[in-house]
Structure 1
């Protein structure tokens, strides 16, 4: 209990100072109160004050200067502007970018590169040892060592744990409302296959995760991309206009920390889109895969939390937070539960027993929440370091998102810069990122890129960003 109390104290002190830095009360170059003064002011130990300062240093908000004290080194005024609202056309598209994406994927596992294209946090940020220990404990106690087939709906233990976690965003799901899948992509594909047929049209954000585009292409679906704000998500006014004119069969939406833009829909927008789909009786497939990686005080809500018609199909996974290779995801399909179960029975019958039960036990033992707290702190600190470094080394007219969660940055450069050309040059220098063109079916985002800050911060990472900035500056000449 003592350690918990101490953690609470230094987090409170760090948060109070961070708030003053963000609000401009503490400005760039200001000296912070000495450790001795804060110790007396808060009535805590020196180690508690130092821990608070260490946390602020990790976020690149302050720095220690020998024999002088701690100083503010961060200013919102020095941050780059956010990207403009996207402006795709509202025509339905049906084409494949498989060749571009395959070429991109060929670089992912190459050695001796700094890989900013990672779609998951680096292994160093994941609890690999504790997961392995949990798996060993799980196998020992599983019937037949977990070699048996599980039920079609999936592990009851895991479904119960996922259902309990919906309380964090105002949900009230039960274990019988959830179906376990082989990762998030499997959950998305099952959902799309249940509510659409080849030739149908779906609506997505723009830019949009390329995996959704490839799924749509594989299923023979036409895609309408809608304008999206980097802060608040899909433009709902344009959505209404599209639904009045076109026969749309489903909406696919990443409501919290969109990939790649990082947008998060405010509650008012989530309520509004649920109202819209109810009026038009159109299912909404809500991908909430990064909802647990938030930087604020509370876990953001979901569209599912406002759904009273069963039209929201809530999809998630442990791939971005715990173990991508375990391939454990889920869908809470609402009124489409029976159809999902029938389709899963035909396609895969059941999901891997051992990985399901391992994650269920990891959650039951409280290890998941402990890991998430550390992961959020690390990624939040990373986001500030990456953004500050981009501001220092990239062209001055660069725009970059300011994420409130997840581990992705969307970077918008001068229209004269062709990011695909820079991608090839950067690869030769040992730096890889995700070109903006793979996140759309339209002719756009040639001057954009997605950067993952899921890599631990290091001198190599800073050098790679500096190298990338140099290439971008040369490309704009």
Structure 2
């Protein structure tokens, strides 16, 4: 690379870093609405950069709508930096059980997550910058000395006792008072979901799901020969008990598979009373609830929301969790707390994959025991909140009027409802040609609904490359509407 190019890239990184620091100061309230920013020379001295770098950073923040210039006075924080977008409407599925089809696209979308040249907003995989890599490496390195060779052995079900104990302690934060004996360690939450479905259903059975729902859930249902029954889902609070009750009256539902806390892709979070009502309804009807709670530890503001399992009284909730969305997707450390179905699920785990990797499980147990997870979460929650907010603001800037988007209070995905003329599958193909991966709406429906919807993974470092990608997406969408 030429020397001049290196200098230009360095300067670019500097002004973006200054812009990020000023944006974080604004979000933290250091500079409130209407406040004047310090002068360019003072900021240049504060950050150790040139005046021109500060000016470039201010222009970037002005383009993003965070600050405004006043003649002969300087830059001020905007009193109303942006207008919150309108939310998508509550879904309205047809209301009858259907086989799951059209999931072949999912593999192509997730494969793009491992291609470094692609701007990765498709698969819900957090970038390494959001993960506690240093602490995890220390935990991994310390396993042999602490565990004396156990990391080299099979970890047969239910899994390492130390990890199950650490998980049981953590679940108290979700309102669940459980013992380590109730926990079955799995290879990620996806295996926990599949095992839970196998424990309570037979091929051909009907499973109630949110609409839209996580495509991994749809793949599990398809792979087991089950039928999916979509239930109308509010983008803020999830499924209403009344809607679920109506479905139970009409169809022989054998299980409900829901994400009450920061569901994917909507980011909805049911309140305690709604969770209690859902659990009581399902318990009264004798229908097991499989709860996917992989985002439960990622609220933008404390406290951590309670799990639906906290409200059970008869052991009918099969709770599924994972550290893939928090510590690292590569760990594949998940677990199930399957209530009265524990023995069945434990046997299915052994019959399916024999054991779980011992070394990652022991490393995670050590990381949790030493307090690393809590320290990490305190930082990560703010990081994800800012990441979602930045992408949301960029969508408002670049996408056409009429674009709706969710306002999640946790997790790191954003769901967009685009103008009706937009074909999300065509948008996905156009974007991938330009090195941008997104998740089109039909992936989140058993029958390919939500053709004008899009899910964005916001857990990416905010830089000029991501901003350009969102701007280009907006251009393509505008072209489809025109």
Range of TM-score over shorter length? 0.7 to 0.9
1:459 paired with 2:464, answer yes
Q: Give ranges in structure 2 of 5+ residues lacking alignment.
A: 1-24, 40-45, 47-60
Deviations 1:26-60 (A, max 9, x none): 76xx227999xxxxxxxxxx9xxxxxxxxxx9xx8
2:149 maps to 144
Deviation at 1:74, TM superposition (A): 6.3
Q: CA deviation digits over 1:281-320, x for unaligned, max 9?
A: 1100000001011112200111111111100111100000
Task: Give the match's secondary structure for 1:140.
Answer: helix
**Inter-partner Cα distance in structure 1 for 2:76 and 2:388:** 20
Indicate the residue corresponding to 1:468 in structure 2: 473
Structure 2 match to 1:109: 114
| Residues 1:348 and 2:344 aligned together | no
Contact 1:153 1:180 in 2 (8 A): yes
Match for residue 179 of structure 1?
A: 184
User: Could you tell which deviates more after superposition, 121-130 or 407-416?
Assistant: 121-130
Residue 35 of structure 2 is aligned to residue 31 of structure 1: yes
**In 2, Cα distance between equivalents of 1:443 and 1:145:** 46
**C-alpha separation in 2, matches of 1:412 and 1:444:** 12
> Deviation of residue 348 (structure 1)?
2.1
The correspondence for 1:357, drawn from 356, 362, 369, is 362
Are the aligned partners of 2:257 and 2:291 in contact in 1 as well (CA < 8 Å)? yes
CA distance in 2, matches of 1:468, 1:436: 15
- Residue aligning to 1:429: 434
Q: Work out whether residues 207 and 257 of structure 2, in 8 Å CA contact, stay in contact via their aligned partners in 1.
A: yes
1:411 aligns with 2:416: yes
Q: Give 1:234 shift.
A: 1.0
User: What's the CA shift for 1:144?
Assistant: 2.1
Q: Does 1:165 align with 2:176?
A: no
For the residue of structure 1 that corresponds to 2:328, the secondary structure is helix
CA contact (8 A) 2:420 2:452 kept: yes
1:192 aligns with 2:202: no
Cross-structure match for 1:154 = 159
Give how far 1:72 is off.
3.2
CA distance in 2, matches of 1:62, 1:476: 28
Instruction: Name the CA shift for 1:149/1:61 in 2 (closer, same or farther; >3 Å).
Output: farther
When the two structures are aligned, how many residues end up with a matched partner? 436
Q: Distance in 2 between matches of 1:251 and 1:119?
A: 23
Tell me how far apart the structure 1 counterparts of residues 263 and 81 of structure 2 sit (CA, whole Å). Answer: 23
**Among candidates 213, 219, 228, match of residue 233 of structure 2:** 228
Name the residue aligned to 1:52: none
Report how far residue 273 of structure 1 moved: 0.4
Answer whether contact 1:118 1:454 (CA < 8 A) is retained: no
Larger deviation, residues 421-430 vs 200-209: 421-430
Equivalent residue, structure 2, for 1:265: 270
2:121, 2:439 within 8 Å by CA — same for their partners in 1? yes
* Corresponding residue of 1:39: none
Cα distance in 1 between the residues matched to 2:104 and 2:326: 29
1:324 maps to 2:329:
yes
Residue range with higher mean Cα deviation, 181-190 or 440-449? 440-449
Task: Please give the alpha-carbon distance, in whole angstroms, between the structure 1 residues aligned to 2:124 and 2:189.
Answer: 13
1:175-232 deviation digits (Å, cap 9, x = unpaired): 1111111100000011000000001100000101111111101101010011111101
Q: Would you say the 8 A contact 2:400–2:478 is kept in 1? A: yes
Alpha-carbon contact 1:117-1:432 (below 8 Å) kept? yes
Counterparts of 1:164 and 1:356, CA distance in 2: 15
Contact map agreement 2:240 2:274 (CA 8 A) in 1 = no
Structure 2 contact 262–410 (Cα < 8 Å) conserved:
yes
Given that 1:261 and 1:401 are in contact with CA atoms closer than 8 Å, whether structure 2 keeps it comes out as yes
User: Does the aligned pair in 1 maintain the 2:100–2:447 contact within 8 Å?
Assistant: no
Q: Distance in 2 between matches of 1:61 and 1:172?
A: 46
Q: What is the CA–CA distance in structure 1 between the aligned matches of 2:351 and 2:65, rounded to whole Å? A: 53
Secondary structure of the equivalent of 1:323? coil
- Structure 2: how far apart are the matches of 1:132 and 1:168? 26
Cα contact 1:256–1:290 (8 A) shared by 2? yes
Question: How many Å apart are 1:143 and its aligned residue?
Answer: 2.7
109-118 vs 360-369, greater mean Cα deviation: 109-118
Cα offset, 1:160, TM superposition: 1.1
Is 2:215 the counterpart of 1:210? yes
Residues 221/287 of structure 1: CA separation in 2 closer, same or farther (3 Å cut): same
Q: Pick from 65, 83, 99 the counterpart of residue 94 of structure 1.
A: 99
After TM superposition, which residue ranges in structure 1, 4 or more long, deviate above 6 angstroms?
A: 13-16, 32-35, 64-70
Task: Classify 1:422/1:174 alpha carbon distance in 2 versus 1 (closer, same or farther; 3 Å).
Answer: same
TM-score by length of 1: 0.86
2:7 maps to which residue?
A: none
Q: Secondary structure at the match of 1:139?
A: helix
Aligned to 1:442: 447
